[in-house]
Structure 1
């Protein structure tokens, strides 16, 4: 598997997700969104690089990245209490305390949609906008799904982008749940293999 730095990962993921319905709901200001996304994804990248599984395609720069949680790591990507910034702290700084609490409470329901059995959870799959349509994301997705199957695990993910649902279905995942994020938020499609 190729290497990637936290800076490369956060920049790639921010560019990949800047127009994602969830990110637009989180950060409605078009000018601030890329920076807010990069800060948030940077925290995730640091933790996945330390405690998770990160798969990368480089050409020679990173063009696609996938960040997975495996059963032994689930819960391991949360920030340590003495490290800053935390996701909650960033969300409060970007959204204000009231909206961050509301969004956090709404997002909590997503965890209940994951399979009860041991699973590999794809938290992030991002492809640089200039590299889309060349199979890079599919290669990382298929590799993770195959490794999950070999380990006897269900592979699962959540998406808020309706265009991604048929893409993931073509790679062997199916919708298990649809979950609206509040009255004004996007719909989440919880998908899994098997």
Structure 2
């Protein structure tokens, strides 16, 4: 397997698609977007603007079909992605208005009151941040056709190494709503640091801290 490479702007449609397909059965997405028949498109629409922002001010790595030894097809097609939000991004100047915005898309998808409930619930994650927070792993996704080949682990290790030597260093952290993900992240040095239920009827979100 070749090393991950930095994502490029032209990768955004494929990155959006990989995330939507990978998160189709994720408990968080099932709670936010309960209609299964439209969830993948809705997920891609909701995450698209956030992923674009990550490409501008975050740290995004991808693996392509060619990098993982796919025998055929488009070897440049993105099949796995890791998107980190550095601490510095929280204080970065806002770019000129670009539509759509993530919150606006969610309001269009599920209605203003439901969107506000979801966004408020997700904001509670910040209460479980490390004392010296580093980059936040916002998305780690592998196309379903390429799962269970070690791609997620390769991206995670690569990102941790790359971020360790930058001004974004600190304690890396993440949150997951899928209990099956907890042992995976534990194998890569992350430990549970708190958990809470999203809203009144949502899934349990586990916050994990890495070594910082």
Q: Is TM-score (shorter-chain normalized) higher than 0.5? A: yes
What is the SS of the residue equivalent to 2:89? coil
Aligned counterpart, 1:135: 150
CA distance in 2, matches of 1:117, 1:162: 25
CA distance in 2, matches of 1:75, 1:94: 28
What is the SS of the residue equivalent to 2:36? coil
Pick one of 70, 82, 95 that aligns with 1:66: 82
Checking the alignment, whether the CA contact within 8 Å between 2:46 and 2:102 is kept in structure 1 is: yes
Task: Tell me by how many angstroms 1:135 deviates.
Answer: 0.7
Aligned counterpart, 2:194: 177
Task: Tell me by how many angstroms 1:114 deviates.
Answer: 1.4
Is 1:103 aligned with 2:118? yes
Alpha-carbon deviations, 1:10-47, whole Å to 9, x = none?
01110111110000000000111111100112112211
TM-score (norm 2): 0.85
CA distance in 2, matches of 1:169, 1:75: 29
CA distance in 1, matches of 2:150, 2:117: 37
Number of aligned positions between the proteins: 193
The gaps in structure 1 that reach 5 residues or longer are none
Task: Tell me by how many angstroms 1:80 deviates.
Answer: 4.5
Task: Tell me by how many angstroms 1:134 deviates.
Answer: 0.5
Checking the alignment, whether the CA contact within 8 Å between 2:133 and 2:172 is kept in structure 1 is: no
Task: Tell me by how many angstroms 1:75 deviates.
Answer: 4.7
TM-score (norm 1): 0.92
Aligned counterpart, 1:165: 182
What is the SS of the residue equivalent to 1:73? helix
Superposed CA RMSD in Å reads 1.8
1:26-175 matched pairs, under 5 angstroms: 26-59=32-65, 60=75, 61-76=77-92, 80=95, 82-151=97-166, 152-175=169-192
CA distance in 2, matches of 1:75, 1:87: 18
What is the SS of the residue equivalent to 1:46? helix
CA distance in 2, matches of 1:62, 1:79: 28
Task: Tell me by how many angstroms 1:81 deviates.
Answer: 6.4
Task: Tell me by how many angstroms 1:101 deviates.
Answer: 1.5
Checking the alignment, whether the CA contact within 8 Å between 2:83 and 2:137 is kept in structure 1 is: yes
What is the SS of the residue equivalent to 1:72? helix
Task: Tell me by how many angstroms 1:62 deviates.
Answer: 1.1
Alpha-carbon deviations, 1:70-108, whole Å to 9, x = none?
2322354x9746221111111111111111121122111
